[in-house]
Structures are given as structure tokens and as C-alpha cells.
Structure 1
């Protein structure tokens, strides 16, 4: 511990700046927790969201676009597909919805006050948001059974401006 303090003191004394790492937060997942694990993590900013819904029922699939690259579809592409594209500098600051065995509803809210809601209002409510001002959604994780989303959690980051 003493040597770490000594090194940090020396760096500060010579005026060298140390890059501040991104600060991450995790909103604990909700849902049944069974099935195949997934993570949408990728490089860049989230620029679009696609969600598939079994008509009048649960969420069957999810896909995010980072910059111009789409992730794989997690779950399935069965049912109605809905999509939201984000504007330049627009970021996701809240993810909420309903769950009961499967994820039945997802709603994404952005810094511009826009929202994107898919699914039906059935089950227990959840609401994910970052606890640090300026944080944004970086990726989603959870589980699916190949047919529908069984659980979901949100990962947030205070992204350092470079």
C-alpha cells in the first residue's frame, strides 16, 4: 500500500495525468434466470434497438446496434419486430418493463425524453437506471431459452470523453 501511494505521489509531483477509467454500474437482472446466457456488449455507442414480441405476449428477441454494427439476435426473431433509432448524441438512460417467467415488456428512455415501449403490461415491474449522473446504457445481459427472453439486466457506464 505504501509503495502505491509513493508511486501516485511521484506521478502527481511530475504533473503527468493518469487517464480516468470508465465507471461501471450494474442493475441486477430480473426474470426467471433460466436458459442460455447472453450479453450485447460491443464497442461504440448504442445507436438503435430492435425488439421482437410474440403478439400480445412476451418479448421473444432483442438486438442492439453499436455505431453501424448490429449484435446477434438474442432469443428469437419470432413475432412483431419493432425498432428505434437514436439520434446523434442521444443515449439511453433508463430501461424498464414487466416480467413473469419471461420478459413481457421493455421500455427504453433517452436523454431527449423519447421512449420506446414494446410488449404487454403483465407481471412484476422493474426499472433500471444508472446511479451516477452522466452514465449511459452500455449493454444488456440476461438469459433466453432460444424462444424468448427469460431474464434481463442493464450495464451502465460513465464514459470518459476522449
Structure 2
């Protein structure tokens, strides 16, 4: 039972990768790490400007929003056996201004403004998917973002893609 509760990568470190955070990284650290598989994404943008907040849904449970949840979010629900395989965007002047999540089925959620330096992050290992995000935020917006990738294993230790 304990092994099912622990992040499954403890036994399989070759299938884990981390994409270095992009952005200036000021403010407080955050992490969206949670048990289960990502099944939804919400992103809040400040009036045609920077990214104010991000929230992930794991199975049926939404994480606490990163930074803020003020305003109306743009949202995408993932389909059965669909996963996030790429995170792209732009950062400028201390903030993440644009973010795009791409799924294993070619769908995407793009939020924000195309201003600044580009980033494009994806897993190192075939079959890996986004497991959680980490970085920094300052209460006004997201100042850096990094991605943690791994092959998702079900309770019977079989991988799903």
C-alpha cells in the first residue's frame, strides 16, 4: 500500500525528467504536485497581459490555484488517456506572459500574450507526460515555470499513454 501512495518514480527514476524553470523566478515557490493523473487545466490571464494563475485537476480534484484565481479562467478538460506532452510560452519583464499546453491528441490550450522570450519544454523520455508544475509567483502573477515529466503508471504498475 505504501508504494502506491508514494510517487511511482521512486522505483523508476529513469522515466523522470525535469525541464528547467523559465522566467526570472522572483517571489514564493509553488508546486502543483498531487496524486493521480492530470485531467484538467485552468489558466487566468490579466486583461490581455500576463499569466495571473494556474490550476491543475488531478483525476476529479482541483489543486489550490497557483498565485491567484481572480477573473474568468480559460479551461481545458483532458479526455480519457489524453495527457500533456508539451508546455510552451513566453516570458518577459519578470512574468510569464503566454502559456500553451499541448496534449497527446494534438489539442492545445493557449492563454496570454505573445510578448518576450520563447520557451518550449517537453519530456526527455518517450511515453512521459506532465506530472506537475513548479516555479515561483509573487502574488500578482507567475514569475517562473518549470515542468516535471514521468511515465504514468496505474495501480497495477502498467504504463498508460
Give the TM-score of the pair, scaled to structure 2: 0.86
Gaps of 5+ in 2: 1-9
User: Runs of 4 or more off by more than 4 Å in structure 1?
Assistant: none
Correspondence 1:152 to 2:145: yes
What CA RMSD, in Å, does the superposition of the two structures yield over aligned residues? 1.4
Work out whether residues 128 and 150 of structure 2, in 8 Å CA contact, stay in contact via their aligned partners in 1. Answer: yes
User: Which one of the candidate residues 132, 135, 139 is aligned to 2:132?
Assistant: 139
Report deviation, 1:138. Answer: 0.2
2:39: which partner in 1?
A: 47
1:35: which partner in 2?
A: 27
Gaps of 5+ in 1: 1-18
Name the SS of the counterpart of 1:77 in structure 2: coil
Work out whether residues 102 and 108 of structure 2, in 8 Å CA contact, stay in contact via their aligned partners in 1. Answer: yes
Q: In structure 2, how many angstroms separate the alpha carbons of the residues matched to 1:129 and 1:99?
A: 17
Report deviation, 1:78. Answer: 2.5
User: Which one of the candidate residues 1, 9, 12 is aligned to 1:21?
Assistant: 12
Given the superposition, is the C-alpha separation of residues 160 and 122 from structure 1 closer, same or farther in structure 2, using an over 3 Å criterion?
same
Q: In structure 2, how many angstroms separate the alpha carbons of the residues matched to 1:106 and 1:87?
A: 20
Query: Paired residues, what number?
Result: 144
Q: In structure 2, how many angstroms separate the alpha carbons of the residues matched to 1:21 and 1:58?
A: 37
Query: For 1:70-105, what per-residue CA distance to the aligned partner results, in whole angstroms no more than 9, with x for missing partners?
Result: 000111123441100000000000000000110000
2:50: which partner in 1?
A: 58
Structure with the greater alpha carbon radius of gyration = 1
Query: For 1:56-77, what per-residue CA distance to the aligned partner results, in whole angstroms no more than 9, with x for missing partners?
Result: 1000000000000100011112
1:111: which partner in 2?
A: 104
Give the TM-score of the pair, scaled to structure 1: 0.85
Q: In structure 1, how many angstroms separate the alpha carbons of the residues matched to 2:19 and 2:71?
A: 27
